[in-house]
Amino acid sequence: MTTRMNFLRAMVLLVTLGMISTLTYAQVESSAATFPASVSWDQSPKALLVSYRDIWGEFANQDPTPLIRVFGDGRVLVHYPVYTPRAGEYELWLQTTELEDLLLSLMAKGVATFEPLAAKRSKQLEELSLQEAVLDAGETPELFMVADDSTSVFELHLQDYQVVGAATTSGEVNRTISWLGLGTDARRYPQLASIQQLRNAELEIKALLERDDLWKVR
């Protein structure tokens, strides 16, 4: 058993070293932005500021329309595909201050600065760290996997974003982020700030679905 443990430990270390060597070009974790900050956006009705959808792993031929879209005039459009129990188009309106708060909150959660590659490496290292801890306890590390998890897809378009006293993000923001198994990773790796923040951003966007002023338009 001791031999086996030593072997496992050696394997973990080898893999860890291999991964570290690949990190020379990528920061492991990016820090989230901090307040105070300001944001500006195109306020026209057709200007898409935020969109969100989750791609279901095992579901073929899904409707690619985003579940939630937030436009420059504060309109929030929710699209439930025809195959869902709530099928239809729903709508609500955000006041300018609400919209600004939402955008600033998403930015503060690092949606604009999230680095998928760095987060992926951090996740791998964290997993190895968990296995190391198990080995240190004299136990055999347990593998873990979730099959057919969903992929969260965020899209963000802003004219300008500034953080006072920090240089994390400045200027126009146009980006799309995809992450497989965000909820799963947030639960398994509570220490990884970037993943926690992105999960919090997802929950904040999805909270729009539960608002009382969301009403069906067709």
Partner 1 sequence: MRRSWTGAGSARIVTVTLCLLVTLTNSIGVKAGAFVFAGENLSVDIITHPSNYTGLGGEVTVSVCIDPASANAAAMVIPVKNIVSVFNGFVPRSPNLIFGANNDIPGGQFDFQSLAMHEFGHCLSLAHPNQGVKTGVSGADTNATQSTDGVDNSYNFNAGVDTVDGSNDDVRGDDVNLHYFITGVNNPFLLPAKADATNYTRDLANIPFGHTYPANAARAVGPLVGVTNTETVMQQGQGIDEDQRGLQSDDIATLMFGGTGLDETVGGGDDYTVKLVYAGLTSSCDIVAKADLEPSFASCAFGGIYLTPDLTHAAITSGIFRYNPDAVTWYFNPILACDDIVLDYAHDATIAHTACGEITTTAGFEVGVGGDVTLTGASVTLGPGTIISGMLSIQIP
Mapping DSSP to helix (H, G, I), strand (E, B) and coil, where does residue 11 land?
helix
Binding mask 26-55 for partner 1 (x = CB under 8 A): ----------------------------xx
Neighbours of 149 (CB within 10 A): 19
Site string for partner 1, 132-171 (x = CB under 8 A): --------xxxxxxxxxxxx--------------------
Q: Which stretch binds partner 1 (CB under 8 A): 35-43, 69-77, 80-88, 95-103?
A: 80-88
- Residue placing its CB nearer to partner 1 in the complex, 142 or 164: 142
CB 177 within 8 A of CB 116: yes
Give 64's DSSP letter.
-
- How far is residue 38's CA from residue 124's CA, in Å, rounded to a whole number? 34
Instruction: Assess 59 for contact with partner 1 (CB under 8 A).
Output: yes
Token pair listed for 15: 């893999």
The answer to whether 142 and 134 are in contact (CB under 8 A) is yes
Q: Is the dihedral of CA 74, 172, 196, 104 positive or negative?
A: negative
Pairing type for strands 37-40 and 48-55 reads: unpaired
- Which parts of 111-130 interact with partner 1 (CB under 8 A)? 116, 124, 127
Nearer to partner 1, 8 or 193 (CB): 8
For partner 1, the closer of residues 138 and 171 by Cβ is 138
Question: Which residues here bind partner 1, judged by CB under 8 A?
Answer: 3-4, 7-8, 11, 54-61, 82-85, 116, 124, 127, 140-151, 178-180, 183-184
